[in-house]
Structure formats: C-alpha cells, structure tokens
Amino acid sequence: MIWDPFYECMDPEERAQLQVRRLRETVARVKANVPWYRERLREKCIAPEDITSLDDLRHLPFTTKVDLRDNYPFGLFAIPPEECVRIHASSGTTGKPVIAGYAREDIGIWAETIARTIACGGGTSHDVLHNAYGYGLFTGGLGLHYGGELMGCLVVPVSGGNTERQLMLMEDLGSSILCCTPSYALTIVDEADELGFDLSRINLKSGLFGAEPWSEGARESIEERLGLSAHDIYGLTEIIGPGVAAECGAKAGLHVFDDHFIPEIIDPETEESLPPGEKGELVFTCISKRAFPVLRFRTRDITKLDYEVCECGRTQPRMERITGRTDDMLIIRGVNVFPSQIEEVLLKIEEVEPHYQLVLTREGRLDNLEVQVEVSPAMFSDEVRKLEAIEEKIRERLSSALNIRVDVKLVEPKTIERFAGKAKRVVDMREEA
Ligand code: DLL
C-alpha cells in the first residue's frame, strides 16, 4: 500500500513546482523570524523572491551542527518556543544537544511521513506495531508512535530494553511489525537463543530498522532469524526525526519524502552540489515545517541519489543506504575506512557472530586498528589452531577489502556489549595514549 499516492507518486515536474513554492515561503519565513538566517541571507545577497527554480537552492546558506550549537537552545526556531507543542533532542555524546522544536502542524507532518514509512515496510491498519525505539528526547519512540496511530495500527509503546519481556509481548500480542535499531534486532535474536526461546513463536512480518548504519549482511541475518522482511528507515533530529526516507518493497534505496525535505548531495570539501548518481554528503532543506525549518543542513551522512521512478510506483527519489558519516570515517595510516565496510566483511564470515568492536590506538604517530569480533559458541570450543586459522582468514579478507593491514582478535561469545539503542562500535583510545 502507498500511504499518500498524491504526493508519493506525483509527477516530478509538478512536485518541483510545489517544492519551489514551499522553499520560497520557508525562506521568507526564516528571513522574517530568525535573525541568524536573516544575516546569512543578507551576506549571500539572496531574497525569497529570487528563488524561481530548484537550482536556486545552491545559493542558499548552509546550516551545520556547529551553527545549531551556537544558537542553542531556541535561536533558530521560526516561532516563539511557547507556540511549540514538543521538543526533541539529538543524542550528542559531548556538550549541549541540538534541540528541535515542533508546532502542532509539524507533529501532523511527522505522523504523515511516518505513516508513509510504515506503508513502505508493508504495514496497514491491521498491524500490531511493536515499537522498541527509545521513548523520550530521542525521536525514534514518539516518532514511530504517532505515525503508527495515524495509520490505525495497534501500537505497543514498549521502548528499548528488557528483551525477555519484549519477546513475551511480541508472542502474546501477535506483533507483526518490529521497530528498533538493527543492533537491537540482533540483540533480541541473541537473547532469544540464550533464553531457549523458539523464535517461531512470534509472527513478525516486517521490521523498520534505522537510526544507525547497518550492512546487507546484517539484513540477511535479521531476516533469516526473525523471519521478516527488514526495511531500512532513515531520519535525523535536526530535520524531523525518523520519517525522512524509507525503503519500499523493492529494496533499491530509500524514498526521500522530498515534498517536505529537499535532498542534495555536495562535495564535503568544496561544498559544490554534485549531479545525481554521485556520492557525497547529504544535505537537507525543510520546506514545510513551521517551528524549526533548517536550510541546507549538512548531515555528514554519505550517500547518493537516484531520480529514476521506482518499480513500486513512487516517484520520490531514492537515497542509497548510508555507508558512513564524514565524521565516523577512520583514517588508518592515511587510508580512509568506514566501520560499515568492516561490518560488511565480518558478516560474510560464517564462524563469527555479528558482534564486533573497533579499537583504535596510537603507537608513536601511527594509528592502529584492532578489530575484535566474537566467535560463535560452537567454534569457541575448538582447538587453538582452528581459531588461529579463522583469525587469519578475517585478517586477509579485511586487508584485501580495505587495503590496509589491521589486527584481528577473536573474543569469547557474549563479551562484546549489546545495545538497546544505537550501537557504539568504535572505541577510540588514541587520546589516552
Ligand atoms: O536516529 C532518527 C531515527 C530514529 C532514524 C529511528 C531512524 C529510526 P538522530 O539520533 O538525530 O536521529 O541521528 C541521526 O543517525 O544523521 C545518521 O548518521 C544516523 N542514521 C539514522 N538513520 C540511519 C540509517 C535518528 N537508516 C543520524 N542508516 C543520522 C544509517 C542512520 N544511519
């Protein structure tokens, strides 16, 4: 089912006109109400009435995470905070978070884009939606919740953690759609094994997984173990939360809901726009939100866009799964490495589990990367010689995929931390060295 065929299957020309109109209105609103944007637009000598085509997008100023921090907490809101009905915040590791504000209309738009997301994953009003994304300032829980209710699903607002109880509820309530991070989906599978819980007792048909990068290998293992169709869903707090893009049944990229959020790809170094099909940094402009519409937000996520019409009938462009972020790229002895490339290699190796950690250390001026990965319980009891052979196999595959030599250490089953939300895979000890 397509939730909103009018917008999702709109003629691209017609949509471009809608986008230009909404963009012009948004620029006029931020110019009138947000001093910071007024100043940036003045510097760039651009006025709302100068915007006559989508090409004019590239004349607009960028917004970065630093700009949002500098204007903490409400500086970039386009309405007074007391006219908002909700805030959410991004999960920064240090310092102040980014605060996103929502007017009542924004909550409505968000529920619509989430309903589209659920429909992309095959959901209907008959589904029982088990929502294990965290509730609170994080956008995952409440985001999926409102969209699920709008669609008419029976929403189970279970949030993350207490996996044994999650399994029980999924079985007893007949949950048909699971929403959580891909790493938590793997944790659920793992814990079911440990508890001796036969996963055929639950009857999931699809999963909406996102909030962190995951590989095709992770998709295969989640689909196989949970017996569902796994869909990638994407979004970020600064834009709205989840509900920015979602993968349909064709699984050939994530449809970007560009009647609300216009995507662009830029070269992160030169900041020039790149043509469709080229990989670079994803940038979004919000064109329908009232409280917190950001212009050309630099996501730091790396992907490319495809404007071909999809076999599902949706005409909205598709972004390739996110392979990494400009800021989680590791530079190991001069070579750029993304954690997702390592995951892709590890998950194709039968003898190891999909639980790993990347430990970075510094010896003198050289960075060193150690990949720690759990062996499967069956393998762990094997002879040392066999384990050494597996280690060597992983080392070889990683060095041919990454073009650098990395250290590999097999660790005992269940020793690497499990996650109910976003996984933290990189342990950076370089500062302490
Ligand atoms: O993670 C929103 C979300 C919630 C998306 C639930 C999907 C499901 P933030 O905490 O602000 O928001 O983190 C946003 O997470 O810039 C990406 O780097 C990463 N991310 C989100 N979805 C995906 C995905 C939520 N499907 C940041 N694949 C983004 C890869 C993702 N990375």
Q: Measure the CA–CA gap between 148 and 359, rounded to whole angstroms.
A: 39
Give the residue, out of 116, 145, 239, 301, with the most ligand 1 atoms within 8 A of its beta carbon, to mutate for a pocket test.
301
Q: From ligand 1's centre to the CA of 237, what distance in Å? A: 8
Give the residue, out of 244, 322, 326, with the most ligand 1 atoms within 8 A of its beta carbon, to mutate for a pocket test.
322
Q: From ligand 1's centre to the CA of 255, what distance in Å? A: 15
Condensed to tens digits (0 to 9), the pLDDT of residues 128-163 reads 999 999 999 999 999 999 999 999 999 999 999 999
The number of the ligand 1 atom at minimal distance from the alpha carbon of 213 is 30
**Domain hosting residue 367, numbered range:** 330-432
Instruction: Categorize the per-residue pLDDT at 376 as very low, low, confident or very high, splitting at 50, 70 and 90.
Output: confident
Phi and psi at 17, nearest 5°, equal -65, -40
Q: What is the pLDDT, as a whole number, of residue 131? A: 98
The number of the ligand 1 atom at minimal distance from the alpha carbon of 299 is 16
320 shares its domain with 367: no
Q: Which of 300, 326, 352 is the last residue of a domain?
A: 326
What CATH number is associated with residue 362?
3.30.300.30
95 shares its domain with 235: yes
CA distances from 429 to 55, 125, 187, 280, 405 (A): 44, 48, 26, 29, 19
Cβ atoms 426, 389 nearer than 8 A: no
134 shares its domain with 249: yes
Instruction: Determine which residue's CA is closest to atom 12 belonging to ligand 1.
Output: 236
Per-chain mean pLDDT for the chain: 95
Can you tell me the mean pLDDT for 335-356? 91
Taking CB atoms and a 6 Å cutoff, what residues make up the pocket around ligand 1?
Answer: 90-91, 133, 139-140, 210-213, 232-237, 241-242, 299, 301, 322, 325
Q: Strands 366-375 and 352-363: what pairing?
A: antiparallel
The number of the ligand 1 atom at minimal distance from the alpha carbon of 208 is 8
Q: Measure the CA–CA gap between 388 and 61, rounded to whole angstroms.
A: 54
Burial class, 86, CB count within 10 angstroms (exposed 0-12 / middle 13-18 / buried 19+)? middle
Q: Over the Cα atoms of the chain, what is R_g?
A: 22
Q: From ligand 1's centre to the CA of 244, what distance in Å? A: 10
176 shares its domain with 295: yes
241 shares its domain with 265: yes
Give the residue, out of 236, 300, 304, 425, with the most ligand 1 atoms within 8 A of its beta carbon, to mutate for a pocket test.
236
281 shares its domain with 369: no
Instruction: Determine which residue's CA is closest to atom 29 belonging to ligand 1.
Output: 236
106 shares its domain with 233: yes
Instruction: Determine which residue's CA is closest to atom 9 belonging to ligand 1.
Output: 236
Residue 258 in this model has a pLDDT that exceeds 60: yes
Condensed to tens digits (0 to 9), the pLDDT of residues 381-430 reads 778 899 999 999 999 999 999 988 899 999 999 999 999 999 999 998 88
What CATH number is associated with residue 105?
3.40.50.12780
316 shares its domain with 342: no
Instruction: Categorize the per-residue pLDDT at 433 as very low, low, confident or very high, splitting at 50, 70 and 90.
Output: very low
44 shares its domain with 111: yes
The number of the ligand 1 atom at minimal distance from the alpha carbon of 144 is 6
Can you tell me the mean pLDDT for 287-309? 97
Condensed to tens digits (0 to 9), the pLDDT of residues 235-253 reads 999 999 999 999 999 999 9
pTM of the model: 0.94
127 shares its domain with 236: yes
Cβ atoms 287, 261 nearer than 8 A: yes
Q: Which of 310, 326, 342 is the last residue of a domain?
A: 326
Residue 94 in this model has a pLDDT that exceeds 70: no
Residue 321 in this model has a pLDDT that exceeds 90: yes
Residue 157: CB atoms within 10 Å: 16
Condensed to tens digits (0 to 9), the pLDDT of residues 172-201 reads 999 999 999 999 999 999 999 999 999 999
Q: Measure the CA–CA gap between 362 and 343, rounded to whole angstroms.
A: 22
What is the count of structural domains for the chain?
2
Burial class, 309, CB count within 10 angstroms (exposed 0-12 / middle 13-18 / buried 19+)? middle
The number of the ligand 1 atom at minimal distance from the alpha carbon of 322 is 30
Residue 432 in this model has a pLDDT that exceeds 70: no
H/E run at residue 71? none
Q: From ligand 1's centre to the CA of 48, what distance in Å? A: 31
Q: Which of 326, 346, 378 is the last residue of a domain?
A: 326
Q: Measure the CA–CA gap between 87 and 136, rounded to whole angstroms.
A: 10
Instruction: Determine which residue's CA is closest to atom 1 belonging to ligand 1.
Output: 211
